[in-house]
Structure 1
Amino acid sequence: MITRKLYLLGGNTSQEEANIHFAKAAGGQDARIALLIVYRKGWEAFLPHYTKHWISEGVQENNISVVVPNEKDELNTAEMTEILSGATGIFIGGGHSATYYDVYTKEPIKKLLLSKYAAGIPLAGNSAGALLMPQTVLLSPHDTDNQQAWNGKGLGILQNQLISVHFSQWQDEPNLLSGLHQHNIPLGYGIDGDACLYLEDEQPTAVFGNEQVKRIEKGTL
């Protein structure tokens, strides 16, 4: 029986416990991991922050493939499809959340991600990557260029839930509560920077890391 595995990291790309668990779930020494990021100058130098714990678990460096758009935020669709088709684990990185949204919630990559996840391929997202997973994406005022909260249609892996990242660091509970009421969504999870909410079949199963995940219900307000 297939178990769907989802990792929502709140901000620390290198959170050790979550990354080790993800690498093992992806196959350890036999894993083929697709790392999805957005373009920024010097992005190659940042890769070890993602990969170091995977490699420590035996993942071969040449089996880690990076999907990155060009400077115009355009993806090579053929290359992306080939990488994702062979992946045994997919990790969506962190950075400028609006750019991640524009690149990774559109077709054809949305359909590919949903198909791989439904087939039991572990899917992880850190910060911006985690925010894309629900049906409704909620961006904090701390996370937008104009310091205004923003929402849009996400990947839809999580239904009737909202996700907030850097939760304690950004003191983001008022924004999460406001989002729950605005969109009539019953439940949200606030994930601290050094925490990871791990779900199996979309049900919370464990919390990794040194900080906390807070469950927020709409009626809290």
Structure 2
Amino acid sequence: MQTRKLYLLGGNTSQEEANIHFAKAAGGKNARIALLIVYREGWEAFLPRYTSHWISQGVQQNNISVIVPNENNELDTAKAVDIVSNASGIFIGGGHSETYYSLYTKQPFNKLLHKKYAAGTPLAGNSAGALLMPETVMLSPHDTDNQQAWSGPGLGILQNQLISVHYSQWQDEPNLISGLHHHNIPFGYGIDEDACLYLENEKPAAVFGSEQVKRIEKGTL
């Protein structure tokens, strides 16, 4: 049985330790990585922030495939499905969380990401990408266009827990606590920008980075 590997980065997509671990798990020099991002002007210039540590581990540049919508947030779905289906590692990036949610929690990505992850393909998300992983996605007021907290159904890779990113930087503990009570969810993780929570088979296995991951339990509040 394959070990399921999940990386939740809190905001800094260039974290060295987490990205090296992910690249090795994806196959190192034999890795084929799918990077799912959203459109922003000049997005190509940001790619080295994702890819530099992967390449340092021998991942070939031409084996890193970027899935990005056009300026109207339209994807070539057939091409994207082919890339993800053949990937040995999948990384969902950071940026405008509401756009990430609208693109990558719906089908065919929801079912496909579940299938790949269950088969042992390492799955990673930074900031917005990390927020998509639970059964319930919770967006901080710092993270929405109208500055109001928002929640909705997520990918469901993680069950019965919430994720908060930029945790210390956004002083997001009140939002996480409110979400736990509102949704009657037992616990959640607050992940600082320079921290990564690494899970194996949905259980915490390590924390990478120079900052912290904090577990908050509803019953102890």
TM-score tier by shorter-chain length is over 0.9
Aligned to 1:181: 181
Aligned to 1:49: 49
Q: In the TM superposition, what are the counterparts of 1:89-104 in structure 2 within 5 Å?
A: 89-104=89-104
Tell me the SS of whatever aligns to 2:125.
strand
Q: In the TM superposition, what are the counterparts of 1:120-199 in structure 2 within 5 Å?
A: 120-199=120-199
Aligned counterparts of 2:195 and 2:34: Cα–Cα separation in 1? 22
Does 2:111 align with 1:111?
Answer: yes
Tell me the SS of whatever aligns to 1:137.
strand
Q: Percent identity?
A: 81
Q: What letter is aligned with 1:217? A: E
Aligned to 1:10: 10
Aligned counterparts of 1:21 and 1:210: Cα–Cα separation in 2? 15
After the TM superposition, which segments of 4 or more aligned residues of structure 1 sit over 2 Å from their partners? none
CA RMSD of aligned residues (A): 0.6
Does 2:25 align with 1:25?
Answer: yes
Q: What letter is aligned with 1:28? A: G
- What TM-score does the superposition give when structure 2 sets the normalisation length? 0.99
Q: Deviations over 1:48-68 (max 9, x none)?
A: 000000000000000000001
Structure 1: which 5+ residue stretches go unaligned? Answer: none
Number of residue-to-residue matches in the alignment: 221
Aligned counterparts of 2:91 and 2:195: Cα–Cα separation in 1? 16
Aligned counterparts of 1:2 and 1:120: Cα–Cα separation in 2? 5
Structure 2: which 5+ residue stretches go unaligned? Answer: none
Q: What letter is aligned with 1:107? A: Q
